[in-house]
Amino acid sequence: MSAQTIAFLGATGGCTNACLSYTLLNGHNAIALARNPEKLTTQLLSQPGLTQSILDKHLRVIQGDARDIETVMKTLIVSTTEQSTTLVTHVISGVGGTGQFVLSKPSPCAQIPIRIPTIPHISIPNPHITEESTSALLAALGRIADERFTCFDEYAAVAPRVTIISSTGIKKGVRDVPMLCKPLYAALEVPHKDKMQMERLLTLEQERKESLLCGGHVIVRPSLLGGDHRIAGPGVDSGYARLRVGTERRPEVGYTVGRALVGEWIYREVVKGGGDRWVGEGVILTK
């Protein structure tokens, strides 16, 4: 197996942390951006088989915000000298915001400190986080291409492949949500609009054709997420054989999927497998 270096954004999220754990356990190197490095290390050390010496040998943590272009650039560059720059081969992003179910909103009049009833919906602290972090990622790739390579073709030959975690229920005309879940998905309008904007940025990027910043992109659309970051230990069935994988042309419809399984799929198909088969696809993952 050849060691490669993979960049992770949102690595304290369940899906991405699981993928990062499989990556490290299988001898690859990783650079992870985290707002809270201690939280990341604690999560990783709770994974079966991951030790401090594996983290010391294979993981570099960059502290910062995924919306900050300079910080993202540091996460994408493995090494650099006057003569050459080595980039990560893949970027895996599971940046998102933790939602809260709300039944009221502040009064439109700032002087009246009351909340008024509203249609029940999910509210997140930054409703544009996935769009903003994807925009920063593309800007960081653009700056690296301009500043670290002598010509665009030289950059294009090593441009990282980008895999982002989006959601089911956002692509018009694709039946990937069970009828019974429709009311719940209606309450997810805010995070879903953000995911649509994130996907739009990647679609626009793909249309550039002449000057593509990503070495192909893969959009992962899990159904409702359950469980946490913890992966199955050796000899324990993770349930991978029961994971159903669909695409826009051949959707799979299901209710939920475990975060650790999503991470395992991204590890197996993208990190280990390279992801060629899934480039340009919206991959539906469900149980």
Binding site for ligand NAP (CB under 6 A): 10-16, 35-36, 39, 65-67, 94-98, 129-130, 165, 167, 191, 222, 224-225, 259
Q: At its nearest, how many Å lie between ligand NAP and the CB of residue 249?
A: 20
Quick one: 36 or 80, whose CB is closer to ligand NAP? 36
Q: Which is nearer to ligand NAP, 11 or 144 (CB)?
A: 11
At closest approach, how far in Å is the CB of 235 from ligand NAP? 25
Nearer of residues 33 and 213 to ligand NAP, judged by Cβ? 33
CB of residue 205 vs ligand NAP: minimum separation in angstroms? Answer: 18
CB 206 within 8 A of CB 281: no
CB of 239 to ligand NAP, least distance (A): 17
User: Given the complex with ligand NAP, which of 201 and 225 has the nearer CB atom?
Assistant: 225
Q: What count of Cα atoms within 13 Å lies in the side-chain half-sphere of residue 160?
A: 30
Identify which of residues 222 and 254 has a Cβ nearer to ligand NAP in the complex: 222
SS3 sequence of the chain: CCCCEEEEECCCCHHHHHHHHHHHHCCCEEEEEECCHHHHHHHHHCCCCCCHHHHHHHEEEEECCCCCHHHHHHHHEEEECCCCEEECCEEEECCCCCCEEEEEEECCCCCCCCEEEEEEEEECCCCCHHHHHHHHHHHHHHHHHHHHCCCHHHHHCCCCEEEEECCCCCCCCCCCCCHHHHHHHHCCHHHHHHHHHHHHHHHHHHHCCCCCCCCCEEEEEECEEECCCCCCCCCCCCCHHHCEEECCCCCCCCCEEEHHHHHHHHHHHHHHCCCHHHCCCEEEEEC
Q: Please check whether residue 235 is in contact with residue 201, taking contact to mean a CB–CB distance below 8 angstroms.
A: no
Residue 12 CB, nearest approach to ligand NAP (Å): 3
**CB 95 to ligand NAP: min, Å:** 4
Q: Give least dist CB 82 to ligand NAP, A.
A: 31
Considering the complex, state which of residue 89 and residue 130 has its C-beta at the smaller distance from ligand NAP: 130
Quick one: 14 or 149, whose CB is closer to ligand NAP? 14
